[in-house]
Amino acid sequence: MRDSTQQYRALLSQVAARATAYLEDAQARRVAPDDEVVGRLRQWDGAFPDEPMDALALVEMLDSMAGPATVINAGGRFFGFVNGGALPGSLAASWLVNAWDQNAGMMISSPAGAVLEEIALRWTAEILGLPEGCGGGIVTGATMANFSAILAARHAILMRQGWDVEIDGLFGAPPVDVVVSDEVHASFLKALSLAGLGRERVRRVPVDGQGRMRTDRLPKLTPHTLVAIQAGNVNTGSFDPAGEICDDAHDIGAWVHVDGAFGLWATASPTYRHLTDGFAKADSWAMDGHKWPNAGYDCGIVLVREADHLRAAMSASAAYLVSDGRHNPMNYAPEMSRRARGIELWATLRSLGKSGLAALIERTCSYAQRFAEDLRKAGFTILNEVVINQVLVSFGKPERTLAVVKKVQDEGTCWAGSTLWQGQTAMRISVSSWATTEADVDKSLAAIIRAAKETET
């Protein structure tokens, strides 16, 4: 069955019209859907239907039923996790990429995918001030970027000890010691478990009141150590003292990995760049495109100083796979076949340019300051030094803070989640979207303060 050009025209113009209406409506909608709307989707949960369905009817069904059950990332008032909202350039590129349906695993199967991925990776390294000659891959998110970097480090550390982990596996292998901070992100521990290094087989370094690794408590490192540091704590936004840690680690030949999911992008702003001093000295870096740069989901980036280690960790051999000396993305990531995310990252970065990216970072940081100042003025406690885009606010007793978070989420003007910060329950506000405006901040502050007043005891 082949749709005629005419059918594509009708179908895709319908998609464009509906998607446009969704985005235009995004500002007015409740940020998170209520349970009833989500529950309606269960109507589809019957047996797998016998008959095919026309694509136009599918679009209508999805838009009317699933659209209302979405979280409005696009509206500028979602402050949960560290979610961006796809930039117009990123969204538009992703539509094209989907029409092209490229398999970006190899240059030969998607020249555009492979070339633009290479350029996007090089630009990312340039933006972040990382060494020329580093290389990497584009994956689904920082979790997979952390995982990929761990595999590169594992390869390098074991190879130095004469062990080929890709061929012989981990049973009987020499040890790889892992050092993390007490504030390590859960995704890094997950990545360690995926890599066979064990989630709890780590040495944890205590942190200070902002969640920064305490260098005076760094354990003895060896050439077999992988030290993981953070640029941008997921709660406070704080940065580990990278320069000192990298110097200590490199004196002994240890590997330093940076989980820089969102924070490392602060390098793009002349105002905030000093916060990321020293991180470029590390050996590998994990970033998200779908957080601060506001690429659409899903987009993570791994970069490795000596990319051959990543390549060795990700290599595969089969007679039909080409090894043509060109940049084949599948040699730098766990996946073989995959969508051409590199094109979307290229489009995201190209649409912003240096000045646009710096402005996005600075604007979201200044809104975070506004949140902190106005909530403090309203009598609430800001638990962190607001160094970038993350704000932790306590409304008093844990129960009250949780009640305020729930009220805010149910009321729907904006959305923020809760967290536990060094024993204190907090609302966590992450300003990460290009779409957030001053007016969004005003409205959201009013909604949060209203909710807090209503929970006064």
Ligand X SMILES: *Cc1c(COP(=O)(O)O)cnc(C)c1O
Q: Which residues bind ligand X (CB under 6 A)?
A: 82, 141-143, 185, 187, 230, 232, 234, 259, 261-262, 288, 300
Least separation in angstroms between residue 333's CB and ligand X is: 14
Least separation in angstroms between residue 381's CB and ligand X is: 23
Least separation in angstroms between residue 148's CB and ligand X is: 11
H runs (alpha helix) in 300-427: 307-314, 341-377, 398-411
Least separation in angstroms between residue 34's CB and ligand X is: 25
Residue 71 C-beta-side C-alpha neighbours within 13 Å = 15
Least separation in angstroms between residue 185's CB and ligand X is: 4
Q: Are strands 177-181 and 225-230 parallel, antiparallel or unpaired?
A: parallel
Least separation in angstroms between residue 117's CB and ligand X is: 18
Least separation in angstroms between residue 212's CB and ligand X is: 13
Nearer to ligand X, 185 or 428 (CB): 185
DSSP category for residue 64: I
Nearer to ligand X, 344 or 404 (CB): 344
Nearer to ligand X, 106 or 150 (CB): 150
Cα 369 to chain centroid distance, Å, stands at 22
Could you give phi then psi for residue 105, rounded to 5 degrees?
A: -65, -35
Nearer to ligand X, 107 or 120 (CB): 120
Residue 261: name the closest of 186, 318, 336, 334 by CA.
186
What residues contact 314, with CB distance under 8 A and at least 6 apart? 137, 148, 151, 330, 331, 332, 333, 334
> How far apart are the C-alpha atoms of 407 and 243, rounded to whole Å?
43
Nearer to ligand X, 110 or 187 (CB): 187
> How far apart are the C-alpha atoms of 114 and 104, rounded to whole Å?
6
Least separation in angstroms between residue 291's CB and ligand X is: 6
Nearer to ligand X, 130 or 287 (CB): 287
Residue nearest to ligand X (CB): 141
Cβ proximity of 41 and 33 under 8 Å: no
Residues, the chain: 457
Nearer to ligand X, 312 or 387 (CB): 387
Nearer to ligand X, 342 or 451 (CB): 342
Nearer to ligand X, 190 or 407 (CB): 190
Element (H, E) at 426: strand 424-430
Cα end-to-end distance, the chain, whole Å:
65
Least separation in angstroms between residue 122's CB and ligand X is: 21
Which own/partner contact pairs does 175-178 have at CB distance under 8 Å and 24+ positions apart? 175/224, 176/224, 176/225, 176/226, 177/203, 177/221, 177/222, 177/224, 177/225, 177/226, 178/202, 178/203, 178/225, 178/226, 178/228
Least separation in angstroms between residue 143's CB and ligand X is: 3
Nearer to ligand X, 267 or 413 (CB): 267
Residue 426: name the closest of 378, 372, 388 by CA.
372
